[in-house]
């Protein structure tokens, strides 16, 4: 009498992405993020309001909120709190779960995997470079908006100094955003949904949270590719590297063209 032996994964294959917090943890993390971002917005607006003399006029406070993007100190407060939340929220949720911090996908990568990440970033860069001309051909009005969105975001961060801009774009943003959107959001959704459903949902949220409508397609593409690499290597480091390589390549090309 023979029996079929159980299927056992190879010893070098990490387990499938299935963090214990699930969709409930994702919703809790998203709610916490919006609460922190609202607090950061109010704190930044209060700084400008204070510099203007703390007028009790409601219109003055509204104008202060609109001026955050052009005030270096207020912008720094908002950026610091936002990226701090991107990192702190996943760490707190993971630490309180039975999987611990390892559930965030904190695993090392092989050299081959690192090279694959660089190749993935190069493919992303190719798609991103093609997006502008295609948009100008299909929807010229959105092409202008896309150019303005990218220019505005770059100028905002550069107003805090080139070293700060490079640090945020190549190091801080990839680590913070991948921990939140891939480890927490995609990972939590992946514990109950298929890869396609979880990756598309997380990528859409990643794109929408940037509040750059004309830039949504390339942002979603970045989210999808990073999720694919995370799923493939079971390591959030792969998604971080793809994101960092892509941002770095984009900056180099932008500086070379200017």
Query: What residue has token string 């943890």?
Result: 25
Helices 22-51, 72-96: axis angle to 10 degrees equals 160
Which of 131-135, 139-143, 201-205 is the most confident on average? 201-205
Look up the pTM and report it: 0.87
**What is the CA 219 to chain-centroid distance, rounded?**
9
Which of 66-70, 74-78, 82-86 is the most confident on average? 82-86
Q: Are 195 and 231 in contact (CB under 8 A)?
A: yes
pLDDT higher than 90, residue 19: no
Alpha helices in 97-235 (DSSP H): 111-138, 140-158, 162-167, 173-177, 187-190, 195-208, 216-233
More confident residue, 178 or 101: 178
Which of 4-8, 138-142, 158-162, 175-179 is the most confident on average? 175-179
Mean pLDDT, rounded, for 200-205: 97
Q: Are 177 and 206 in contact (CB under 8 A)?
A: yes
What are the residue ranges spanned by the domains of the chain? 22-257
Percent of the chain clearing pLDDT 70 (strictly above): 83
pLDDT higher than 90, residue 53: no
Closest by alpha carbon to 249, among 72, 96, 120? 120
End-to-end CA distance of the chain: 74
Q: Are 60 and 54 in contact (CB under 8 A)?
A: no
């Amino acid at each position: 009498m023979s029996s079929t032996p159980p299927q056992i994964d190879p010893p070098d294959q990490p387990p499938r992405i299935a963090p214990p917090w699930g969709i409930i943890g994702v919703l809790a993390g998203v709610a916490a993020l919006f609460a922190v971002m609202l607090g950061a917005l109010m704190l930044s607006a209060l700084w400008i309001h204070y510099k203007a003399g703390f007028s009790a006029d409601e219109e003055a406070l509204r104008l202060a909120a609109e001026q955050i993007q052009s005030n270096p100190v207020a912008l720094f407060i908002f950026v610091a709190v936002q990226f701090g939340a991107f990192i702190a929220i996943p760490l707190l949720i993971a630490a309180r779960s039975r999987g611990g911090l390892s559930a965030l996908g904190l695993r090392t990568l092989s050299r081959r995997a690192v090279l694959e990440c660089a190749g993935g970033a190069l493919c992303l860069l190719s798609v991103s470079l093609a997006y502008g001309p295609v948009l100008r051909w299909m929807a010229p009005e959105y092409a202008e908006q896309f150019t303005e969105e990218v220019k505005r975001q770059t100028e905002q961060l550069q107003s805090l100094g080139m070293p700060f801009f490079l640090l945020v774009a190549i190091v801080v943003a990839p680590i913070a955003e991948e921990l939140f959107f891939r480890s927490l959001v995609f990972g939590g959704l992946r514990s109950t949904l298929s890869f396609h459903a979880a990756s598309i949902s997380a990528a859409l949220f990643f794109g929408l949270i940037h509040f750059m409508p004309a830039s949504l397609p390339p942002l979603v593409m970045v989210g999808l590719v990073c999720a694919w690499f995370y799923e493939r290597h079971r390591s959030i480091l792969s998604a971080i590297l793809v994101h960092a390589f892509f941002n770095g390549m984009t900056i180099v090309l932008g500086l070379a063209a200017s």
